[in-house]
Each structure stands twice: as C-alpha cells, then as structure tokens.
Amino acid sequence: MSIKKYNAFLHIVECGSITTAAKKLGQTQSGVTQLLHALEKDFNTVLLKRSKGGIRLTAEGQKLLPYIKEVVDADTRLRSEVLKLSPSPGKVIKIGTFTSVAVNWLPEILKEYRNMEPDIRFELVDFGYNKIEEAMKDEQMDFCFVPLPISKKYKSFPLYKDRLLAALPKDHPLASLKSCPVSLFEKESVISLIDTIDRDARTVLQDCGIKPNIQYTVEDDYAMLAMVAKNLGICIVPELMLNGFEKDIVFLELDPPSYRTIGIAFPSYEKISPQALRFSEFAIKWIQRQFRMDPNAV
C-alpha cells in the first residue's frame, strides 16, 4: 500500500478538513479524496465520516489510526537512515531555475551556504522561463524557482514581487518621463521575447487592451536588452534583469504599475531530502533578508 494514502489520511485527521489537508500537502482536494477512498478500499472499511461539524473518525478509523501513524513514522525513519547509508543522493542538491534567478540570486546564496555546509554539491539546471513547470513533472529536481502561478498539485511559496519596467534607449524622446504609459507599446518599435517566454509582458499589455507593435522577437532577455541599447526599439523587462545595463538604457516604471511573482516550488515535497529542504529554507530566508520582507509573508 502506498505511503501517500497513509500520509493523506493522517493530514485529514490532523486538519479536520480535506480542503485544508490538500493545501498543506500541496495537492488538489480531489486528489486527496481519491487517496482516502483508495485507502478505505484497501482496508474494506470506512475510516472517516463527514458531518455538519466536520470530519470525524469512525470506530474503525480510530482503531487503525495509531498503526497508520507507526507506519508513516517508520517510513520517515527509514528514509533518514537510507540517506545516512547512501550519502551521494543527499549530498547533491538539484535546483531548477531560470536566467534572472540563476544570475542574480543563486551565486550569492550558494556562496553563503557553502560556508555552512562545504561538503554539499549543487546541480543547477536552467530550464528557461517557459519550461520550468514542465521540468517539474518528472521529479528530477529537489525544488525549482518558478514564475507563479503554478499548478496546484505542486507545493509552492511566493518569494518576491519583481517589478516589470519599460526599457528605453538613453536618447529616446520620452526617456526623461517618470513612468512609461503602456500605450507607448502600440506606437513604438517593440522588441519581445517569443510568446512562450514573454508571458508576463504580454499579459500586462493584453490586460490593458494594448496590441504591441512587435518588430523583433528573440529568445534571450539579455539579447533583448542589447537590442534596446542599440536603439532598435523598446521592451518590457523584470527589474531583476537590470544589472549591467543601466548605463545604456533608461528603465521606467510602467503606467499602470505591473509585477511578476517569483516563487519556489517542490516537485515532491514528501520525498525531498533533509539537505535539500534545509537549503531551500536557507534560500527563502536569504531572499527575505535581502529584500527586507516580512518572514510571515511566505
């Protein structure tokens, strides 16, 4: 019998609600309900009953509860001992990411963390902005930095609201403005990422009813900014991408202001190694400290 069924059952009992348990597990409500039904089918008995007061254990559920707890606890202890016996999997932390996080956050985070745990090795895979969620499906990564929202079947946390800015050449006639009206993107030559990558910028324009005058399409953020610097057009770019381009480009807040949300997500939160979980928690705290965020906001 799958340990997932036992774990789902314990979470439902603890939370007193399938909906709350599903959120805590990072799964859908229907998925947790199916796990419960499958477990009851395995045992050929009803474990939980719903009433106006919530969910309660049946007599059979009450009797089996301590044994199910023992199984889950034993599984946790077993995984811990396996990691001790086979250090390699736990010593390599695999992280999925995309360019702006890989360039601007991870080097500093990794540098600080190596001072604490010098024996840990890291494998960073830049899947690109448009393929990061697809890459989570095979559970090859311990965790991933992702653009939110993401599928509810993955446990995820918001980390940072990154401003979207208009990027204009230094000598553009409107470069002295305090903000850039999104209507400008209908009139000016626009440089855009391909549509599968540029979802943040295109969503902003679409929500404002703007049809951008796209003259150039590229696949790389830095190539896009390099073209703006050569006065080939304007673009929308996340603030996290600005490093190194400020002397050649003017960056203006959009009017209306717009953001993207960067988060962290776990392909399989139940299976993550203790080492990877510790590092993910360290990374979250580093980002909160860097941007002076409220620790309770994540």
The predicted pLDDT at position 90 comes to 46
Statement: residue 28 has pLDDT above 60: yes
Shared domain check, 266 and 255: no
Q: Where are the alpha helices (DSSP H) in the chain?
A: 3-15, 18-25, 29-43, 59-85, 87-91, 99-104, 106-116, 132-136, 184-187, 199-207, 221-229, 274-290
DSSP, collapsed to helix, strand or coil, labels residue 253 as: strand
Q: 34: domain CATH number?
A: 1.10.10.10
Shared domain check, 167 and 156: no
Out of 138-147, 174-183, 195-204, the most confident range is 174-183
The predicted pLDDT at position 84 comes to 58
Shared domain check, 166 and 227: yes
Dist. CA 287–CA 109, nearest whole Å: 9
Shared domain check, 106 and 57: no
Q: 256: domain CATH number?
A: 3.40.190.10
Confidence bin at 297 (pLDDT 50/70/90): very low
Shared domain check, 256 and 273: no
Among 229, 228, 225, 185, residue whose Cα is nearest residue 208: 185
Q: Which of 149-153, 244-248, 256-260 has the lowest mean pLDDT?
A: 244-248
- Local structure of residue 91 (DSSP, 8 states): H
Which positions ≥6 away from 98 have C-beta within 8 Å?
126, 127, 128, 129, 132, 145, 147
The predicted pLDDT at position 81 comes to 65
Beta bridge partners of 218: 193
Which positions ≥6 away from 233 have C-beta within 8 Å?
188, 189, 190, 191, 215, 216, 227
Shared domain check, 124 and 108: yes
Angle in degrees, CA 34, 69, 80, rounded to 5:
100
Full-model pTM: 0.64
Dist. CA 255–CA 183, nearest whole Å: 9
Shared domain check, 154 and 268: yes
Q: Is the CB of residue 228 less than 8 Å from the CB of residue 169?
A: yes
Question: Could you list the residue range(s) of the whole structural domain that residue 46 is in?
Answer: 3-85
Shared domain check, 151 and 8: no
Please count the structural domains in the chain: 3
Shared domain check, 110 and 223: no
55-105 confidence digits (pLDDT tens): 889 999 898 888 888 888 877 777 776 555 544 444 789 999 988 898 889
118-159 confidence digits (pLDDT tens): 888 899 988 877 778 777 887 789 999 998 988 888 999 999
The rounded mean pLDDT for the chain is 86
Shared domain check, 241 and 108: no
Shared domain check, 186 and 122: no
